[in-house]
């Protein structure tokens, strides 16, 4: 039997869950899209591709409420409701280079849990549609690139 060495485990509050707010979707003159997130009086701007930015803007502006078609995210929520399941928790849990991943925890009527990993935009859209607060692991937030006071928001179109 192999002994498990606990000396290499990370200690501290690195895994604490923090509440995170979606401030806006900003688009610059070169059509680069950024999601502006805030937590603990700091902001970060995460670049996203144009497709995901379009889907996010559609939901943030609440166009999905009066649309004659359903987004794939709305279909997922309706399917979960049909099977007596719901989104229970959405957490930004990993940043690898420029890619940010969210875990989505579902629970059904029998209290069975199941998880999946999605992109940042998909996680945000699901949190808006399911009205679940978005959380981030403190260690991930600490590794984000923060926006400083010199970031010029005047040259961006805000889709909030």
Mean pLDDT of the chain, nearest integer: 87
Ordered by where they begin, the domains of the chain are 17-149 (3.10.690.10)
Residue entry with tokens 């549609």 = 129
pLDDT digit string (tens) for 90-119? 999 999 988 999 999 999 999 999 999 999
- Residue 151's pLDDT band, with cuts at 50, 70 and 90, is low
HEC assignment per residue over 79-143 = HHHHCCEEEEEEEEEEEECCEEEEEEEEEECCCCEEEEEEEHHHHHHHHHHHCCCEEEEHHHHHC
CA distance 79 to 74: 9
Confidence (pLDDT) at 29: 80
- For 33, half-sphere exposure in the C-beta direction (CA atoms, 13 angstrom radius) is 16
- Residues whose CB falls within 8 Å of the CB of residue 25, separated by 6 or more in sequence, listed in order: 33, 34, 35, 36, 53, 56, 57, 60, 158, 159, 160
CB 107 within 8 A of CB 89: no
pLDDT digit string (tens) for 50-88? 999 999 999 998 888 887 888 889 999 999 999 999 999
pTM equals 0.84
Question: How far is Cα of residue 9 from the mean position of the Cα atoms in its chain?
Answer: 27
């Amino acid at each position: 039997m192999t002994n498990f060495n606990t000396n290499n485990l990370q200690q501290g509050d690195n895994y604490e869950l923090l509440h995170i707010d979606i401030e806006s979707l900003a688009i610059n003159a070169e059509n680069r899209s950024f999601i502006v997130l805030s937590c603990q009086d700091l902001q970060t701007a995460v670049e996203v591709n144009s497709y995901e930015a379009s889907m996010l803007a559609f939901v943030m502006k609440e166009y999905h409420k009066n649309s004659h078609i359903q987004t794939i995210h709305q279909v997922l929520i309706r399917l979960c409701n049909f099977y007596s399941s719901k989104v229970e928790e959405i957490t930004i849990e990993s940043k690898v280079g420029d890619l940010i991943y969210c875990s989505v925890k579902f629970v059904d009527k029998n209290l069975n849990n199941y998880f999946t990993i999605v992109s940042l935009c998909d996680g945000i859209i699901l949190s808006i549609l399911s009205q679940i607060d978005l959380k981030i692991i403190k260690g991930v937030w600490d590794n984000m690139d923060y926006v400083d006071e010199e970031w010029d928001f005047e040259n961006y179109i805000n889709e909030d």
